[in-house]
Amino acid sequence: MTGDARKSYSLGELAERFGGTVVGDAATRIRQVAPLETAGPEELSFLANRKYEKLLASTHARAVILGEEAREATVLPRIVCKNPYAYYARVAALVNPEIVPEPGIHPHSVVHRGAHVAPSAAVGAGAVIEEGARIGDGAVIGANCFVGRDARIGNGTRMYANATVYQGCVIGDRALIHSGAVIGADGFGMAMDEGRWLKIPQIGRVVVGDDVEVGANTAIDRGALDDTVIENGVKLDNQIQIGHNCHIGAHTAIAGCVGIAGSTRIGSYCQLGGSAMILGHLTIADHVVISAGTLVSKSIARPGTYTSVFPMSRHDDWRRNASLIRHLHEMMDRIRKLEGEIKRIKGK
């Protein structure tokens, strides 16, 4: 919906639905959400970071969402709440409802007679659903998607066009699988035999919990023997690689281009920054934050933030610093010798 066709909501209606306190005219109506810099006269904006508070003076938004600490930072009509960013997310979803296809199986799809598709599910053109697969109530299988033999797609789950779920894999309820995602391809299992690689059959599955989002072109490998497991509420960005037999704990969020080698266990409520690399057979505790670009080469037993990226600097400065780093071991040897000499002199 765009323009006048979009439904409007009063601040009072939003507060009744999502909570919070209205300060100013509760009858103020909005149709869309927008940033403070670009918001127009029918739009609701938000302030989640006090460093942007000065933008409140110049915004053209009709109303704003604020935290309690910024309650009096503007005279605009406003909703005051505990978490403005989460409140904005809920309002954005309300005023931008997802378009859901009508239930039914497109005549240009291929559905095996041994598959079960719930009457309330929608299957798009060109989709292929193999024998024994089960598609849950209200699920949406987009155009050209593939659901392999004996796979399970949960209630209300949506697969966008060209997503793939291999044989035997399980996707929970209300998941979002974006275009190009591949769930259940073989893990990278090889054995060296007389100078040649011998492929190891990957006989596990991928088991994905409820309310999981899998970004575009993300790959989750099936287990070699046991399953690869993605627990409830996990959010995966685009172009992530998750190796075989990994276990990702509930409500962990992983940003784009992260690579996780096989048999690694990542705890719940972790956050992995973009392009972080996690070596295989490691264990990472709950509530760990890995900074972008960090290489994790050993297990992490305690919550906290971990960073291994060398800060950016001008190239000439970087070369000088890199040269120093290369000679740190020599410097340590010299320092130890000096410390020994100092002790010897003091002993005299």
What digits encode the pLDDT tens for the residues 122-158? 999 999 999 999 999 999 999 999 999 999 999 999 9
**DSSP-assigned letters across all residues of 18-81:** H--EEES-TT-EESEE--TTT--TTEEEE--SGGGGGGGGT---SEEEEEGGGTTS-SS-EEEE
Residue type, 46: F
Q: Name which of 83, 41, 37, 40 is nearest 57 in CA terms.
A: 37
pLDDT at res. 168: 98
Q: What is the CATH number for 12?
A: 3.40.1390.10
Same domain assignment for residues 136 and 193: yes
Average pLDDT per run of 10 along the chain, which is 348 residues long? 71 97 97 96 94 94 96 96 97 93 97 98 98 98 98 98 98 98 96 95 97 98 97 98 98 98 98 97 98 97 94 90 87 91 86
> Do residues 85 and 222 share a domain?
no
Per-residue pLDDT reduced to its tens digit, 247-264: 999 999 999 999 999 999
Whether residue 281 lies in the annotated active site: no
Q: Is the model's pTM score more than 0.75? A: yes
Which one of 51, 73, 95 terminates a domain?
Answer: 95
Last residue of some domain: 45, 70, 95?
A: 95
159 DSSP β-pair partners? 141, 177
Residues 80 and 203 grouped into a single domain: no
Domain that residue 51 falls in: 3-95
The whole-angstrom separation of Cα 312 and Cα 145 is: 42
- Mind giving me the DSSP string for 270-296? -EE-TT-EE-TT-EE-TTEEE-TT-EE
65 with 136, same domain? no
Q: Nearest 5 degrees, angle CA 184-CA 186-CA 198?
A: 170
Question: Do 190 and 278 sit in the same domain of this protein?
Answer: yes
22: left (phi over 0), alpha (psi -120 to 50) or beta: beta
User: Which residue stretches of 224-327 are H helix?
Assistant: 315-326
pLDDT tens figures, 16-34: 999 999 999 999 999 999 9
Sign for the CA dihedral angle at 260, 263, 267, 268 comes to positive
Give me the catalytic one of 106, 112, 116, 244. 244
Q: What is the largest CA-CA distance in the chain?
A: 96
Mention every residue, 6+ apart, whose C-beta is less than 8 A from residue 115: 129, 130, 131, 132, 133, 134, 135, 147
The label of the residue with tokens 């024998």 reads 131
Q: How much is the pLDDT for 5?
A: 66
How many residues does this entry show for the chain? Answer: 348
Domain final residue, candidates 73, 95, 117: 95
- Give the span between the Cα atoms of 229 and 170, in whole angstroms: 10
DSSP β-bridge partners for residue 45: 64
